[in-house]
Structure 1
């Protein structure tokens, strides 16, 4: 297997049979007020007697893992994402969806929000697998969600490119040994 972020750097996009896309910031932009979500999640901790000064949302989500607060924290975040998914702004690279033999979405957003945003923009018919933050036990940059998406696509990881917008996406691809492209990479323009 190749080092997905190094050896495949010059492989043309049309040289891949399958693509896995990040969602928010890549195909669409969810208009979630993340500061409000962070305050709401902090309130979950505070109501349980935990002090959370200066902590960001993803730190809070990690802190909740394995505690009795995990489900309430996940529900709080997902409620915001689902509410805003119907208002998702389509980004230019969504036009590249549908150009591969198999395509999936691997996102840090909840699976329901991903599916809603894909539906809103008519992308669902082109997407064969959706793995959200709540689909598997691990979250990006852990490679498990990306590998699960690839497993659901039924393709070989050597034939997949993961397209995302963040260092977390790039790290997930590196750890999964899958080729990676940033969404603003000129090679994505067809």
Structure 2
């Protein structure tokens, strides 16, 4: 990153900034009842992006949104993460969010965390079920220079690598997201 440049920070939501309490194995079993078996290693969203029947996809997404909203009631939110993001924004960092959650769920999370106004761009599964496409959508709006993506899964890092942007893995549950946000904030605070 060049000195004086504005960092564009793209963040994943679930697992990275919050932890939704969703029984994904149970969701997977319920979806397999009408979609058929999902191959090992294939995520629910990867599978849905390949389904041709619009009705099946809508039924699956409706089920998923229902369990996400249920999980939101007991979601793990961290006030320190929210404050670090606000500090980064005050330092001029452009914040963007990508999520495989439904837009309604994402908006409710951002409201609960007091972050609704902090993100310049939010891309959810309503726009795309593929992480790579979500990242491209964000980048088309905020630019490709001085960008960093933080996600919690290997698939997040792979999607970033495919389109040529730097990415790091950080999670809420082990505190690594707080460490990375503090590190980034510290690097912006250093005198030039």
Is this a same-fold pair by TM over 0.5?
yes
In structure 2, runs of 5+ residues without a counterpart are: 171-175, 186-192
The question of whether the paired residues in 2 share the 8 Å contact of 1:25 and 1:165 is answered with yes
Q: List aligned pairs for 1:19-30, cutoff 5 A.
A: 19-30=9-20
- Rounded to whole Å, the distance in 1 between the matches of 2:38 and 2:7 is 46
Taking structure 1 as reference, are residues 178 and 69 closer, same or farther at Cα in structure 2, changes over 3 Å only? same
Q: Give the SS at the match of 1:158.
A: coil
1:65 maps onto 2:51 in alignment: yes
CA contact (8 A) 1:82 1:116 kept: no
Give the root-mean-square deviation of aligned CA atoms: 2.8
Counterpart in 1 of 2:84? Answer: 96
In structure 2, relative to structure 1, the CA distance for the partners of 1:96 and 1:177 (3 Å cut) is farther
Deviates more, 1:160-169 or 1:65-74: 65-74
Q: CA deviation at 1:93?
A: 3.6
Q: Of Structure 1 and Structure 2, which has the larger fraction of its residues in helix? A: 2
Provide the TM-score with structure 2 as the length reference.
0.74
- Counterpart check, 1:180 vs 2:173: no
1:31-86, Cα deviation, whole Å (9 max, x unpaired): 112122122212333xxxxx538767725861662124222112211221123224
Q: 1:88–1:150: structure 2 CA closer, same or farther, 3 Å change rule?
A: farther
Any conservation in 1 of the 2:82–2:114 contact (CA below 8 Å)? no
Alpha-carbon distance in 1 for matches of 2:58, 2:101: 15
Match of 2:135?
146
Q: Equivalences for 1:1-190 in 2 at 5 Å?
A: 16-45=6-35, 51-52=36-37, 58-59=43-44, 62=47, 65-67=51-53, 68-91=55-78, 93-98=81-86, 99-100=88-89, 101=92, 102-136=94-128, 138-140=129-131, 143-152=132-141, 155-183=142-170, 184=176, 186-189=179-182, 190=185
Q: Counterparts of 1:41 and 1:180 in 2: how far apart (Å)?
A: 31
Q: 1:135 and 1:54, CA in 2 relative to 1: closer, same or farther beyond 3 A?
A: closer
| Residue ranges of structure 1 left out of the alignment (5+ in a row) | 1-10, 46-50
